[in-house]
Structure 1
Amino acid sequence: MAVPAAASVRDANRYRPAEVTGLADLLDRQVRERPDARALVVTGERVHLSYRGLAFLAEDVAARLGGAGLRPGDAVGLICANTAEFVVGLLGAARAGLVAAPLDPALPGSQLSARLMALGARAVLLDPSVPGVSPLPVPPAWPLRVDVSRAGTAAVVLEPGVCEVSQGGGAAGELSDRDALVLFTAGTTARAKMVPLTHANVAASVRNICATYELGPGDATVAVMPFFHGHGLFAALLASLASGGCVLLPERGRFSAGTFWDDMRAVGATWFTAVPAIHEILLDRSEREYPGPQAPPLKFVRSCSAPLNTATQRALERTFGAPLLSAYGMTESSHQATSEPLPQRGALRQGSVGRPTGVEVRVVDRGGHACPVGVEGEVWVQGPTVARGYLADGDESARTFVDGWLRTGDLGALDEDGYLSLTGRIKNLINRGGEKISPEHVEDILAGCPGVAEAAVFAVPDGVYGQRVGAAVVVREADGVGREEILRYCRDRLAAFEVPDRLELVATLPYTAKGGLDRKAVQSRYAP
């Protein structure tokens, strides 16, 4: 008996758990079952690249890397924007058994080389269209281009003279063919830590993300966050490909608020994920640019990598007509550790980052004992997504990874249903005469003040109290809110010792490449 067409569509779009064991087989199920389905939409002309075509390109790169003398467990760098070159280079390295280390292409060449040398990368796959990167002093760079025709056919171009590889060394001696990735934490060259993630870590993370949001072949998204950090890499790219969905890579490989909604409509997006700063940008521009009824209907919107204030969350949900789900994770936990569930799978809790997704989460006191429900402590995470430690940094590994638990350095509390609420970072706390103040809490209050677009709270050195509270605030020009109005709003909602002693109105705030508030830059700019 023939299956009705409508039933076939429902079956194709029904959620099925992702079947992956790591990066190397990420595409296998889709190539086997849906080879001609679109995997990526690329270039300014929005060309569709199928799963079969993407797998072919990855195999081509894998063969060339192996032919150059690279062997399973060797480390290679990957310096690209969110382009087809990144995806093909990453998957090609994985299929060759190599360990890929994505890096921020905006870093100076000297810093890129320093990180690659510390890792012991034997070569680096480099998109030559990235400005200001080439040439790198070390290691040997392999210029990689993916030429995609309007018909969706593609070919890999590795430019002449790319067969050289370095001797390696560095931290790569701690890697094996069980490892898939090395991600660098945010920080300067000296302080950025190298996090090795195994294929098992990657697979567990991808499966958890797909299951949390019930991602499937009917889903599509636009790559907003950079792939050299876990947020964009795991949540947008890998989870989409593992579930059979589609990812649009914006022109020139970077987010543009001006083309975002056109991109969303072009791919038929059902969701997207971003940091709060980008959500704020989209919200501020929504009156001019949000297409309203012409926008694709969204199942949900996701926010991660920094706290999202309640006022912004409510405004986004009203504007986009979809639930906004907050998630929480770290590089060391292969990105996601908790998330709010889809509305049909659980309640949304105001101020929460949701429940654990495939890991165990506990909140502990200074002695390492579990805190009672509702009591603040440090958030610890344990499970199959947690890394084994840092490369070439035994002391920091011993401090951060304890008996299989990742000590996140974040403060939070669990409620009676296991939902986690974050209250700040331990290292960010302001000590005003013995009163411990969370900058994140004060920022959340400031962001709720009518007319305030963004806020950053920092410690101001003080001879009497040790530290006082400072704030840099960006206001919306059209609202004309002033300093005294903002302070009155704070006095009505904060304890007296939490109200900023210094409040400056500024044009913009500095952000890291990952999209989070750059607190070091804020401190140096406004605290003196």
Structure 2
Amino acid sequence: MTAKLLLQELSRYPLGTFADIIYRNAILSPDSEAFVCGRERISFKQFNERVNKLIHGLHSLGIQKGDIIGILSWNQLEYPEVFGAAMKGGFVLAHFNPRLQPEEMVHVINDSGPRVLFHGPELVETVDGIHKQLSKTESFFTFGDAEEYIEAYKELVGSQSREEPEPRVDEDDPLTIFYTSGTTGTPRGAIYTHRQKMENTRMKALDIGVEIGDRHIVVLPMFHIGGDSHIWPFFLMGGCNVILPISYALSDTLKIIAEEKITDIHIVPTQLVSLLNLPNIDQYDLHCLKRIWYGASPMPTEVLENGLSVFGPIFMQGYGQTESGPDVTVLSKADHRNSGESTGAQSVLASCGRPCIGVHVRIVDDDGRDVEVGKIGEIIVQSKRTMTGYYHRPEETREKIRDGWLYTGDLGYYDERGYIYIADRKKDMIITGGENVYPAEVENVLYRHPAVKEAAVIGVPDSYWIERVHALVVLKEGAQVLGEEVIAFCRENIAHYKAPKSIEFVDDLPKNPQGKVLKREIRSKY
């Protein structure tokens, strides 16, 4: 290929889209590894060809630009391929959490209404139990073998062409929908365009400091924006993503890091606790690690200090939301290295860092006025990284995004050096093991138990989960029930991670004169 033809080829797809990046990497770095999962190793050229085949396969089903496709899966090699097909084919990919109970799955899948649903082989039984309730979904494809009405992904793509599809995407087209629980427990889909996805990826690559040849191990679920957002900066820079297969335990992570010469890992605090507690951590050469990025929930200072003593000052932290984009602030490696310095009465390790490149952050009172240093207010965000809005929820979008600012619902304050500290979740949200849990949703289930008169759910400190879902329960007169029975009831009706891990029976709940339960008073006792 002549230089002139090469330049023409590199101009095939619109700038500012991942269609351009996927194709560009296939042309410029065809044989470099893009993804590894177990024994499978996929080059950038192979990835592009597999994505093309999937696009043509979807076209054969009548799926066109703008149509929604969905994925319900744990981490596996096909996951980024499906996302890649949306990026190049102009489809809109909706991500669904396999941890949800069937009733919850039906709600979120019907909310976005994908015409096609892809799912992992381990979820065939789950899909079989709900498929008749999915009113808008026409086709089901498993990453395993076909079963009755469920078709095989490999058959969809097997005989399709590897040729490039016609350029079909524009920067401002919708690209993806990530679901998150609302303040009342109602899941909402946050929409991102191609432009917003690219902006998040470019800026995150800068925040992390990704270099050509870096290798990232994928341990966080790709159906969360946090897990997904850490993959594409490495893809953008021609690096490799090593996907931890679903069959692997977290204890296998250290072995893979050493064998694959991993430079980067993104984890939640609970996973760091598990890694630090592994008895064989000293057996592996982990000097290849450049960065350990953590987020999704607060990191106890004592856990972080233990991590620093084991791994050295290679930690970074990001704070963000599904709606705000994965990173609003960053606590850099330098911040961790200089963590002995304090800002006022606190170490910077207690903060979530300072605003990322291209992000404006304000902390305001209830009237929208900026607060002074050290004063608590609501964190609001403005950037090109934030979502377009909630899918089919214009009123809730207007409530969330006002005058160009996204209201996070998180309370915090900043110090004289601009470090931001999270004080509380404005809506009492619990973050347990990296998963968001809204107390109202759990309380609604508790109230369905025949023995429960009143219930209040809070998050309490926990050495493993960091924050544990704890329920205070007032029983109906004459009722008798064990805490284990109440927990089992909840686990039958909502995702297991949302169910209380502990129950406390009380005579009454503290309330204000209007009858509202005083959560802050309850939490103060723990």
- What's the TM-score, normalizing by structure 1? 0.72
Aligned match for 1:192, one of 184, 187, 190: 187
Aligned match for 1:521, one of 474, 495, 499: 499
* Counterparts of residues 213-224 of structure 1 (less than 5 Å): 213-224=208-219
Which deviates the most, 295-304 or 363-372?
295-304
Closer, same or farther: CA 407–189 of 1 in aligned 2, 3 Å: closer
Amino acid at match of 1:376: I
Closer, same or farther: CA 200–177 of 1 in aligned 2, 3 Å: closer
Aligned match for 1:204, one of 195, 199, 202: 199
- Which deviations, in whole Å up to 9, do the C-alpha atoms of 1:76-103 show, x marking residues without a partner? 1112221111111111122110000111
Question: CA offset at residue 113 of structure 1?
Answer: 3.4
Partner of 1:183: 178
Aligned match for 1:271, one of 264, 272, 277: 264
Question: CA offset at residue 526 of structure 1?
Answer: 3.7
5+ residue gaps, structure 1: 1-18, 148-154, 164-174, 431-438, 463-471, 473-505
**In 2, Cα distance between equivalents of 1:77 and 1:323:** 36
Partner of 2:4: none
Closer, same or farther: CA 346–367 of 1 in aligned 2, 3 Å: farther
Closer, same or farther: CA 525–79 of 1 in aligned 2, 3 Å: same
- Which deviations, in whole Å up to 9, do the C-alpha atoms of 1:116-138 show, x marking residues without a partner? 22212221123334353333223
**In 1, Cα distance between equivalents of 2:388 and 2:467:** 36
Whether 1:327 aligns to 2:318 is yes
**In 1, Cα distance between equivalents of 2:45 and 2:420:** 41
Question: CA offset at residue 251 of structure 1?
Answer: 2.4
Amino acid at match of 1:323: I
**In 1, Cα distance between equivalents of 2:202 and 2:419:** 20
SS in 1 for 2:297: coil
Whether 1:28 aligns to 2:6 is no
Whether 1:157 aligns to 2:151 is no
- Which deviations, in whole Å up to 9, do the C-alpha atoms of 1:257-298 show, x marking residues without a partner? 22111121232111211111111111122xx12145622432
* Counterparts of residues 63-102 of structure 1 (less than 5 Å): 63-102=56-95
SS in 1 for 2:20: coil
SS in 2 for 1:353: coil
**In 1, Cα distance between equivalents of 2:79 and 2:53:** 14
Amino acid at match of 1:141: S
Partner of 1:475: none
**In 1, Cα distance between equivalents of 2:429 and 2:195:** 35
Whether 1:339 aligns to 2:336 is no
8 Å contact kept, 1:180–1:199: yes
Whether 1:350 aligns to 2:328 is no
Partner of 2:296: 305
- What's the TM-score, normalizing by structure 2? 0.72
**In 1, Cα distance between equivalents of 2:409 and 2:65:** 34
Partner of 1:486: none
**In 1, Cα distance between equivalents of 2:217 and 2:381:** 29
- Which deviations, in whole Å up to 9, do the C-alpha atoms of 1:407-428 show, x marking residues without a partner? 1111111223322111111122
**In 1, Cα distance between equivalents of 2:266 and 2:252:** 16
* Counterparts of residues 75-154 of structure 1 (less than 5 Å): 75-135=68-128, 136-137=131-132, 138=134, 139-145=137-143
Which deviates the most, 389-398 or 351-360?
389-398
**In 1, Cα distance between equivalents of 2:98 and 2:22:** 26
Amino acid at match of 2:399: R
- Which deviations, in whole Å up to 9, do the C-alpha atoms of 1:44-89 show, x marking residues without a partner? x3x3211111111001101111232112111111122211111111
Matched residue count:
421
Closer, same or farther: CA 128–334 of 1 in aligned 2, 3 Å: same
Which deviates the most, 367-376 or 111-120?
111-120
8 Å contact kept, 2:267–2:294: yes
Question: CA offset at residue 384 of structure 1?
Answer: 0.3
Question: CA offset at residue 24 of structure 1?
Answer: 2.6
Question: CA offset at residue 457 of structure 1?
Answer: 7.8
5+ residue gaps, structure 2: 1-13, 146-151, 161-169, 340-347, 431-457, 475-482, 507-526
**In 2, Cα distance between equivalents of 1:176 and 1:202:** 9
Closer, same or farther: CA 270–20 of 1 in aligned 2, 3 Å: farther
Partner of 2:393: 393
8 Å contact kept, 1:326–1:352: no
The RMSD of aligned alpha carbons is: 3.6
Closer, same or farther: CA 189–361 of 1 in aligned 2, 3 Å: closer
8 Å contact kept, 2:313–2:336: no
**In 1, Cα distance between equivalents of 2:184 and 2:96:** 12
**In 2, Cα distance between equivalents of 1:159 and 1:457:** 42
Question: CA offset at residue 347 of structure 1?
Answer: 5.3
Amino acid at match of 1:331: T
SS in 2 for 1:197: strand
- Which deviations, in whole Å up to 9, do the C-alpha atoms of 1:156-195 show, x marking residues without a partner? 61359x99xxxxxxxxxxx997111011103799710111
SS in 1 for 2:427: helix
Amino acid at match of 1:304: G
**In 2, Cα distance between equivalents of 1:203 and 1:291:** 39
Partner of 2:220: 225
8 Å contact kept, 1:80–1:130: yes
Tell me the percent identity: 25
Partner of 2:521: none
